[in-house]
Amino acid sequence: MAGYDTNPFADPVDVNPFQDPSVTQLTTGSHGNIEEFNPFTESAHLTSNQKTVPVQPAMTSQPAVLQPSIEPSPQAVAMAAQAGLLQQQEELDRKAAEIERKEKEMKNVNINLRQNNWPPLPPKCPVKPCFYQDFSADIPADYQRTCKMLYYLWMFHTVTLFLNLLACLAYFTSNADGGVDFGLSILWFILFTPCAFMCWYRPIYKAFRTDSSFNFFLFFIIFFCQIVIYIIQAVGIPHWGDSGWIIALTMIQTNIAVAVVMMIVASFFTVSAAFSLFLLKKVHSMYRRTGASFQRAQEEFSEGILTNRNVQNAAAGAAGAAARGAFQGAN
Are residues 194 and 231 both part of a single domain?
Answer: yes
Are residues 144 and 281 both part of a single domain?
Answer: yes
Are residues 124 and 209 both part of a single domain?
Answer: no
Are residues 168 and 266 both part of a single domain?
Answer: yes
CA within 13 Å, CB half, 12: 3
Instruction: Give residue-wise pLDDT tens across range 95-127.
Output: 888 888 887 777 665 555 678 889 888 888 888
Other CB atoms within 10 Å distance of the CB of residue 264:
14
pLDDT over 60 (residue 56)? no
The answer to whether position 66 is within a domain reads no
Instruction: Give residue-wise pLDDT tens across range 203-228.
Output: 999 999 988 888 998 999 999 999 99
pLDDT over 50 (residue 46)? no
How many residues belong to the chain?
A: 331
Query: Rounded to whole angstroms, how far apart are CA atoms 43 and 203?
Result: 119
What average pLDDT score do residues 286-311 get?
A: 63
pLDDT over 50 (residue 48)? no
Instruction: Give residue-wise pLDDT tens across range 185-206.
Output: 999 999 999 999 999 999 999 9
What average pLDDT score do residues 58-79 get?
A: 62
Buried b / exposed e along 269-295 (16+ C-beta atoms within 10 A): bbebbebbeebbeebeeebeebebeee
Are residues 182 and 267 both part of a single domain?
Answer: yes
Are residues 128 and 217 both part of a single domain?
Answer: no
The percentage of residues in the chain with a pLDDT greater than 70, rounded to a whole number, is 64
The answer to whether position 34 is within a domain reads no
The number of domains in the chain is: 2
Are residues 305 and 178 both part of a single domain?
Answer: yes
Range of the domain at 259: 140-310
Q: What is the band of 292 on the pLDDT scale with cuts at 50, 70, 90?
A: low
Residue type, 259: A
